[in-house]
A and B are shown apart, each in its own frame.
Chain A
């Protein structure tokens, strides 16, 4: 076995070790990262910024803990922006874990557990009046369809069993006509795909989507066609959103690790290819 053959057969655990170091080491470093904002995040953010105080923003959190490293910073930044600009939030989830993740994001913004009455930047915010968490309901796209005709029928109670009629914020919220903007944070199906098909195209909802990086390339055609007002794709999208809002959160912090991790993957792809061609891979193929 010559050098090139050996280079083609590096033990997987060696690669794993490099990945661990590439991801972990930058967490200890504090090097400022210049985040360049892409058009797809910028345009979505501008639409959000055009909302007047008091506007009702629906935030469907359609993700679970495994996708949280990418999506939680988006939820945190969205909630912070809404609180800062007096936008009223209606949180919900097509995934059962989503509303719980939203609560955790809320807690991150406040820096303490969420209670019914909170004090935030000199403002007093009350649950049910300034924000609600409707929780999860099963049904995916059919639930969105149902919300198009009646949100109270789709969500008879909030996430802790309070009847929706007892929540002042939901007064007059009959269907999507009474929602000013939607920020969907999605890890897959049901998620952005379903929101575009059943809320945007059917009921004319304005949608700004946050997606995992795996899902983001699939929804780019919706952005180009105008069905999506903006896309935040993965951790980079979240970092761009943080940059626009002026909040240096976890996404921005993790960008250094992300850079190192990508470099390591590219490094191993290059090694694999160099070894492949140097060891006569091309010749073997033609034989």
Chain B
């Protein structure tokens, strides 16, 4: 029950998906369609699990008056507010319509908080570049050069310098060098990584389907 059935499910579902690539017809397609639908529903419950687990931990923190329990309370209040507003006071399934209470919270609380959380990374990127980006050896210098061409070539100022101020010929414009870096060395490197990962994924998938790789059912 605890091990064999999950392994059997994995094998059957995996094999069905491999088959449906080559035989996209009944009855294989019917099974893969069912599995796809279940996948969506399970994913939704899995995300619910994450949210509920967060609430469980936050409630424990508050009830046991652990360090910073006040912030855990803020988390709970935030969750409860959105949940109550979204489920009961935002026109039901039309909760995303402009003007609903849910959209008010989305536009004026969720949106600024999430956007700024990522925006502050700009400062750390700038600070880290200054501290760690050193042309210590040949490899690091190549990395720096590629970054330089892309950073200047992908903004108008790069062409302003090479095209307007220095009046360089077309092939020396920084935007052309940025294009070249992106389309040739970048594509070559990314492609090598892609092919490597593709081979790795193929072998890992096979190990999972055959039940050799079973870490996902380990523990407990």
Contacts and interface: CB of A to CB of B under 8 A. Distances in A.
A100 interface: yes
Contacts of A138: 40-41, 43-44, 47
Contacts of B97: 160
B93 A157 contact: yes
Contacts of B32: 145, 149
Nearest to A101: B111
Secondary structure dominating the interface of B:
helix
A14 B156 CA distance: 26
B203 interface: no
Contact of B190 (A68, A160, A221): A221
Contacts of A140: 43
B190 A100 contact: no
B157 A262 contact: yes
A145 B36 contact: yes
Contacts of B75: none
Interface residues of A, number: 73
B33 A150 contact: yes
Secondary structure dominating the interface of A:
helix
Q: Which of A65, A103, A272 has most B Cβ within 10 Å?
A: A65
Q: Which of B35, B118, B127, B183 has most A Cβ within 10 Å?
A: B127
B156 A35 contact: yes
B182 A100 contact: no
A12 B159 CA distance: 30
Contacts of B64: none
B99 interface: yes
How many chain B residues sit at the interface, stated as a range, is 35 or more
A258 interface: yes
A145 B20 CA distance: 11
A161 B127 CA distance: 47
B40 A103 contact: no
Q: Which of A23, A161, A269, A276 has most B Cβ within 10 Å?
A: A269
Contact of B103 (A15, A65, A100, A256): A100
A60 interface: no
A19 interface: yes
Interface string B95-118: 011110001001000110011011
A25 interface: no
Q: Which of B36, B151, B157, B160 has most A Cβ within 10 Å?
A: B36
Given A66-B118, A224-B187, 19 more contacts: A34-B159, A36-B175, A39-B179, A65-B110, A65-B115, A68-B115, A142-B36, A142-B39, A153-B33, A217-B182, A220-B182, A224-B191, A255-B156, A259-B157, A269-B130, A272-B131, A272-B133, A282-B136, A285-B136
Interface of B: 21, 24, 29, 32-33, 35-37, 39-41, 43-44, 47, 92-94, 96-99, 103, 106, 110-111, 114-115, 117-119, 122-123, 125-127, 129-131, 133-136, 144, 148, 151-152, 154-157, 159-160, 173, 175, 179, 182-183, 186-187, 190-191, 194
Interface of A: 10, 12, 15-16, 18-19, 23, 33-36, 38-40, 64-69, 99-100, 103, 107, 113-114, 135, 137-140, 142-143, 145-146, 149-150, 153-154, 157, 159-161, 202, 217-218, 220-221, 223-224, 233-234, 236, 255-256, 258-266, 268-269, 271-273, 276, 281-282, 285
28 contacts: A12-B127, A16-B123, A23-B122, A65-B111, A66-B119, A100-B103, A139-B40, A143-B36, A143-B40, A149-B24, A153-B33, A160-B97, A202-B21, A221-B191, A224-B191, A233-B182, A236-B155, A255-B156, A259-B155, A262-B151, A262-B154, A262-B157, A265-B125, A266-B151, A268-B126, A272-B130, A276-B134, A281-B134
